[in-house]
Amino acid sequence: MSGWLPTAPCTPGGCSTHHGAPTGPLVAVSRLLAGVTLVVAGVSLTPLVALLNAATRDRLTRRWAHTVIRCFGLRVSIRFAGEPEPGRGTGVLVVANHISWLDIPLIAAVFPGRMLAKSEIGRWPVLGAVAARGGTLFVERERLRALPGTVRTLATALSAGSRVIVFPEACTWCGQDHGRFTSAVFQSALDAGTAVRPVRITYRAADGRPSGAPSFVGDDTLPASLWRVVAAGGLTAEITVLPLIPAGRHTDRRALAHAARTAMVQGAAAAARSTAAQDAEWLTAAQTAVASDSANLPASSVHQCVSSIPAPASSARTPS
């Protein structure tokens, strides 16, 4: 891996703690079989679904993604803040923190769109062709010189009215803390004149505390991560849709990345208090962060990302 790519200090041993009772082995196995079967079925049907009209395709994708998460044993919680999503045909860049392979169906359950993925997936037998047919955009993570071309590709997709989903942390974190947002992908929104929609992903145990069971970090393997998820009891996949950052609000990609990350972190901090009386404060904090490009970034208290050089958005570990 290139040294300029961001990495996170998270490890499975240090970050994958789950607060809650485990499920029985039979339940875990049944969840695993159901989830994997549904994923394979969805991937296989992608070329056919791509032939449908946009509204039908979005509806089927949302249902499939929601059902995938449920099959793996998680409940789904969706929180909205701010104005509704622009109508179909209006390009928008959706940016989210990155924790797990579960992030992909979780975002698709709300925002079906074109995912930015590492180029290695495009070279996978069968699955690579299916991903490309489904509209996935690929980035050469290890080639810094390829980054301007990726930005142009993203801007073209946004200008054509596509919803594009990226993970600007450029690597997976456990959810206890967050990496910096790389600014390169935000240039595509500026070039296309489109809005940015920050979203916050959290996985919670039955008692409401964040759970590390779904995190896919460090030298973790997909089979180990899959088993942790299906064996954990009472998991909830939570996605918080933050206020839209309108096109033209920021003219510099770093300021735009700063505003998106600040909205996500401040919204997460307020939402973590989990009381109805504080919902208004949470929304105000998120909207203030979106409107300002001069607020200071919250100091990281758990982890620090070790690279400061911008990188394409896609986890080196997550099969996105």
Give tens-digit pLDDT for 140-167.
666 667 678 888 889 999 999 989 999 9
- Rounded distance between C-alpha atoms, residue 97 and residue 74, angstroms: 19
Strands 92-96 and 163-166, sheet pairing: parallel
Closest CA to 54 of 62, 65, 66, 43: 62
Instruction: Give Cβ neighbours of residue 37 (< 8 Å, ≥ 6 apart).
Output: none
Q: Which of the pair, 276 or 195, is modelled with greater confidence?
A: 195
pLDDT greater than 90 at residue 60:
yes
Whether the CB-CB separation of 260 and 303 falls below 8 Å is answered with no
More confident residue, 271 or 305: 271
Range 34-55 average pLDDT = 87
How would DSSP label each residue in the chain? --TTS------HHHH----SPBPPHHHHHHHHHHHHHHHHHHHHHHHHHTTS-HHHHHHHHHHHHHHHHHHTT-EEEEEE-SSPPPPTTS-EEEEE----TTHHHHHHTT---EEEEEHHHHTSTTHHHHHHHTT-EEE-TT-GGGHHHHHHHHHHHHHTT-EEEE-TTSS---SSS-PPPPSHHHHHHHHHT-EEEEEEEEEE-TTSSB-STT---TT--HHHHHHHHHHBSS-EEEEEEPPPB-TTS-SSHHHHHHHHHHHHHHHHHHHTT--GGGHHHHHHHHHHHHH-S-SPPPPPSS---S--S---SS-SSS--
The percent of residues above 90 in pLDDT, for the chain, comes to: 38
What pLDDT, in 10s, does the model give residues 247-267?
Answer: 889 989 999 999 999 988 876
pLDDT tens-digit series, residues 191-218: 999 999 999 999 999 999 999 899 988 8
Binning pLDDT at 50, 70 and 90, where does residue 115 land? confident
More confident residue, 166 or 173: 166
Q: Is the pLDDT of residue 316 over 60?
A: no
End-to-end CA separation in angstroms for the chain:
17
